[in-house]
Amino acid sequence: MPSTTDRALSTPLKILLYGLLGLVSLFVVIAAVRVAFGLFFGLIGLILGLLSLAATIGFIVAIGYAVYWVVSEVFGQDEATASATDASRAQAAHTTGEANETDPVDRLSERYANGEITEAELERRLEQALDGPSVDDSGTAEFERDRELN
């Protein structure tokens, strides 16, 4: 038995109502697909944007390294040579005149650590250094001891 609503609606009105329901359903599906594609392509865009940013940063780093390399080749000094140069300057300053400012025991220990003197020589010179200078009238003993320690 048909319901009162079915009887009240005529067939053309039913077709119109079902057509309208179909159109609304179609719009809902299209909106959902559009949102899904928007999210998908938005994610793809984000990934490509991050890759582009990484490539740009890599390019800038490569240019920076190239400039560093050219400058170090032109001026002939990089970090390794700079530290070696500083070390050789310090060594030269240590042996020329600034060595007199340090303790003779420290100098002897350093020379022993560098392999410049043997253990027996170290002990002999340490005894001489710790005994103190024996100064005679001419002062040559102290000069001889200093020359020997350096």
Task: For 26-39, write each residue's pLDDT tens digit.
Answer: 999 999 999 999 99
Write down the domain spans for the chain: 4-75, 83-149
108 neighbors 150 (Cβ within 8 angstroms): no
Which residues are CB-contacts of 102 (< 8 A; sequence separation ≥ 6)?
94
8 A C-beta contact, residue 73 and residue 81: no
State residue 44's pLDDT score. Answer: 96
**Stated pTM of the model:** 0.36
CA distance 86 to 89: 5
CB 123 within 8 A of CB 111: no
63-118 pLDDT, tens digit each: 999 999 999 888 876 555 556 666 666 676 655 555 455 788 888 888 889 888 89
Here the tokens at position 92 are 């030269």
Return the pLDDT at 58: 96
